Structure formats: structure tokens, C-alpha cells
């Protein structure tokens, strides 16, 4: 489908789709909540059922801003499909009966269009959708190439400068494993710029059970020598109190695999890091420090080799599925600051660019300890441009912090994303079935051979 990039015509009227005009599946048209705009609003959305579908004609194709009028008691994810392209996002908690959420930009076709909204996390109400002709797609505001660490190494400063210079101009490509790099190379003839790694197997509680890091740090040092930008995350196995039962029944009655190798998940440990932080003289606190010090030794190897690191610990905290998110936002911030202080001041590690994986702003540790913003996304549809997630982050960080797609299931469709206005600093595909192999080969070639991306050997 070929569409004009911009509408830019003030005379084009918005398109409004009310709930009472749509086809409801496993939903009801409710009237209990005041303030709805038609004959009622769509209610009864669940995480696995409930969908409203509109079929409408558009005389003017192009890019529109999509606004959702809704009600939700808390943040709620939703699934939106327009002409077979996914545009999933998250509705923030609404402070009144109905609020409007700008879900970002979408592409409207000439003539017939089909829009579906539903499922996601469920437990929200939908009053209407408004599609407003969009103006020019401006890139994000420039961000100063300044790190929070005043003692940042020249290599870290140079990497930050490189990222800042290209922010809004192109998106660096990335993968997590060498096998993923080889797949991209074999299909596209291009080499991803960013190479990722995971410190998970260095976690002491995993080493106690015989895990083998297999020289992950040395692999990344070699990748940097080959010209890659390096990013490192840490699936931190809880320092202690691992449940270590394969068929464990939680308090809610859910049966889970709580084996030691899943010790970074909340459901696989009883470790209370908030209590440990409250008692700096306790054995539990000492174990936190022990683990951080072990990881510091690996980061020092990179520092000694002159390698700057896009460092993203404690990721996806607000999802609460990892133990570092299980005690709420305030305690996550305390742990982040402990980690930052221990690595930066005690270990004198100044080669780190601190990347915080953001979703809910209540969890944000603060500008003084964060250099970049990351977002992780595993969209149900591989063609989802994630414009809603980009729009959410931009509202908080435009002109302040660069925003990257630090994990994505599949491959970021950078040409579509940039056409709609999402200018991620870089993306990093996850691995295995959620890696580049998930992307059809024709799409993988189209993305990696696009002038919108920056591969190894590019700028």
C-alpha cells in the first residue's frame, strides 16, 4: 500500500468512530458511566476476549493522529489493528469518567479501512476513536551529548556524541547473539551495528548451581574490536532465597517452574530486596553488594579494553515479573541508585551509558542517574510500528533523553516507524524465535537495506 507521507491540509475533517457505530464482539454497549458521546460506550474488554470493529471510508489517504476516548482505573494495554497493521499501546489511568489518549500516528488507506480495538490487558471502556489529519512529521528534538557521570571516559563520551548526532537521522540496527547476526548477514548482506549480551550467567547464585558464562564479556570485547556498539543487560538471579522447585504452586494457586535457573523471576524467589536495603548491615544486603561486585569485574574488563557500554540493568521493572520490580517503584529507585553508586563511585566504572527501560514514569529513577531511555516491546504483530510507545516516551523525554528500542521481538520496521514519526536511536532484536528469524526474509532485507537504518560500516 503506497500512501502519501503527509496530509498537511487543514480543510480535511477528522474521522470519528463512536462505540455505538462499531461491531461489538463479546462486549456490551453500556450507559452506566456518564459522559459518553453516542448511544453508549463499549464495556467488557478482557485480556483474551472483547473487540470492537469499525469499517469506514476515508476520502483522503495518508497519516493521521489516532486519539482514543476511554476510561481505565489503571494503566491498561490494548491491541489495535488497522488494515492488518498492529498499533498496540498502553492507556494511562484516566482521572475522570472519560479521557483522551493520543496513541500516535497511523496510516489510512484510500477508500475502505478496517480498524479493530480490544483485548490487551482488558478492564477498560472505549467511547470513541478520532482520526485527525496530521501535520509534518518532525523528528525528535536534539539531545545534548552529555552523560550524567562527570568522569565519563572519552570512549563513552564519543559514543554518546555519535548517538546524539544520528538521533532523528537514522536508527542503528542491533541483535543480541552472534547467531542472530549471522542470520541477518546471510539474508540481507548487512551487519547489525549493535551487539548485545547478558550477564545472567555471571550471577553468583547461578554459578553456585554450575552455570557457565562462556566468556560472554570476552565475546563483546571482540565484537567491539570488530566495530560493533556494545550493549549489556543483566538478568540478575536473586542473590539468595531461590525456591528451586520445578512444579511450585504460588499463593494464588498458579503452578510455575521456580527452578534456580529462573531465579530472576519474581515467582521463583522469596528474596525481599527492600528489606535488605533497609538493613545495610544484614547478610542479605551483603549479598546484594557481592553480586554487584561480581558484575563490576566483568564491566571492568570492557573498561580496560576501552569499550563503552550501553548498560541497561534492572530492566522491565514496572512489569513486576522480575524480582527487582516486585517491591514497587520507590524500592526499585533505591536499588538503581545503589547499583549506580557502587559501580560509578566505588568501582570507578566510567565507561557506562546508563539506559533505563521505561514504561511507567512513576518508576523513573531520575535524570541524574539515567543517560538514555529504553523501551522493550514484543508486539503480537511483527509489523507493529510501536508508535504509541514512542509517543508515550516522547511526551516525557523529548529534548531531554534519547529513546531506544532496547528489545524487540522480531525486527523493528524502521522505514514504517520513521514514516509515522518514531525515530528510535537504536533497536536490538531479541534472539531465537523472537529474534530476526521471526521477520519474513523479504521484510528483513527491506529493513536492513533501507537508507533509514545504520548498519556496521555506516555513519
| Catalytic residue positions, numbered | 316, 407
Instruction: Report the alpha-carbon distance of residue 138 to residue 116 in Å, rounded.
Output: 28
Distances (CA, A) of 369 to 42, 250, 334, 339: 42, 35, 11, 10
Q: Is 210 strand, coil or helix? A: coil
Instruction: Report the alpha-carbon distance of residue 335 to residue 82 in Å, rounded.
Output: 41
Distances (CA, A) of 74 to 30, 92, 260, 347: 20, 6, 33, 40
- Beta-carbon-side half-sphere exposure of residue 94 (alpha carbons within 13 Å): 21
Distances (CA, A) of 303 to 44, 307, 340, 349: 53, 5, 16, 7
Please report the beta strands in 109-244, taking only residues with DSSP state E, as ranges in sequence order. Answer: 111-118, 125-133, 171-172, 174-175, 194-198, 229-233
Cell of residue 253, nine digits: 494457586
How many residues make up the chain in this entry? 459
Nearest one of 1, 2, 46, 55 to 26, comparing CA atoms: 46
Instruction: Report the alpha-carbon distance of residue 142 to residue 174 in Å, rounded.
Output: 22
Amino acid at each position: 500500500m503506497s500512501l502519501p507521507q503527509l496530509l498537511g491540509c487543514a480543510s480535511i475533517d477528522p474521522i470519528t468512530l463512536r462505540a455505538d457505530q462499531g461491531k461489538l464482539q463479546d462486549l456490551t454497549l453500556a450507559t452506566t458511566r456518564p459522559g459518553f458521546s453516542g448511544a453508549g460506550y463499549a464495556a467488557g474488554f478482557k485480556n483474551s476476549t472483547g473487540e470492537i470493529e469499525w469499517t469506514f471510508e476515508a476520502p483522503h489517504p495518508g497519516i493521521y493522529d489516532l486519539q482514543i476516548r476511554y476510561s481505565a482505573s489503571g494503566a491498561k494495554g490494548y491491541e489495535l489493528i488497522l488494515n492488518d497493521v498492529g498499533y498496540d499501546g498502553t492507556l494511562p489511568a484516566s482521572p475522570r469518567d472519560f479521557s483522551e489518549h493520543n496513541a500516535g500516528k497511523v496510516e489510512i488507506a484510500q477508500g475502505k479501512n478496517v480498524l479493530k480495538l480490544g483485548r490487551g490487558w482488558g478492564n477498560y471502556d472505549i467511547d470513541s476513536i478520532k482520526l485527525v489529519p496530521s501535520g509534518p512529521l518532525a523528528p525528535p528534538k536534539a539531545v545534548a551529548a552529555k552523560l550524567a557521570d562527570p568522569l565519563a571516559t572519552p570512549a563513552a563520551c564519543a559514543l554518546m556524541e555519535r548517538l546524539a548526532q544520528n538521533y532523528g537521522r537514522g536508527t542503528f540496527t542491533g541483535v543480541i547473539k552472534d547467531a542472530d547476526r549471522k542470520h541477518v548477514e546471510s539474508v540481507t548482506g548487512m551487519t547489525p551495528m549493535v551487539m548485545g549480551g547478558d550477564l545472567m550467567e555471571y550471577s553468583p547464585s547461578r554459578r553456585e548451581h554450575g552455570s557457565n558464562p562462556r566468556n560472554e564479556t570476552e565475546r563483546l570485547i571482540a565484537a567491539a574490536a570488530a566495530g560493533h556498539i556494545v550493549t549489556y543487560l543483566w538478568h540478575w538471579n536473586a542473590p539468595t532465597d531461590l525456591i528451586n522447585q520445578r512444579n511450585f504452586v504460588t499463593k494464588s494457586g498458579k503452578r510455575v517452574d521456580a527452578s534456580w535457573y529462573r531465579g530472576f523471576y519474581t515467582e521463583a524467589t522469596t528474596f525481599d530486596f527492600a528489606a535488605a536495603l533497609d538493613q545495610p548491615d544484614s547478610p542479605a544486603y551483603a549479598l546484594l553488594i557481592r553480586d554487584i561486585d561480581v558484575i563490576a569485574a566483568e564491566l571492568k574488563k570492557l573498561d580496560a579494553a576501552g569499550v563503552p557500554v550501553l548498560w541497561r540493568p534492572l530492566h522491565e521493572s514496572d512489569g513486576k515479573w522480575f524480582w527487582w520490580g516486585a517491591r514497587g517503584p520507590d524500592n526499585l529507585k533505591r536499588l538503581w541508585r545503589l547499583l549506580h553508586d557502587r559501580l560509578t563511585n566505588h568501582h570507578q566504572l566510567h565507561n557506562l551509558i546508563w539506559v533505563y527501560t521505561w514504561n511507567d514514569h512513576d518508576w523513573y529513577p531520575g535524570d541524574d542517574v539515567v543517560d538514555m531511555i529504553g523501551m522493550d516491546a514484543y508486539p503480537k504483530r511483527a509489523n507493529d510500528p510501536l508508535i504509541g510507545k514512542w509517543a508515550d516516551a516522547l511526551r516525557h523525554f523529548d529534548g531531554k533523553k534519547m529513546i531506544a528500542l532496547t528489545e524487540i521481538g522480531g525486527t523493528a520496521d524502521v522505514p514504517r516507524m520513521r514514516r509515522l514519526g518514531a525515530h528510535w536511536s537504536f533497536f536490538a532484536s531479541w534472539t531465537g524465535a523472537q529474534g530476526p528469524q521471526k521477520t519474513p526474509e523479504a521484510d528483513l532485507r527491506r529493513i536492513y537495506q533501507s537508507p533509514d537504518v545504520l548498519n556496521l560500516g555506516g555513519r
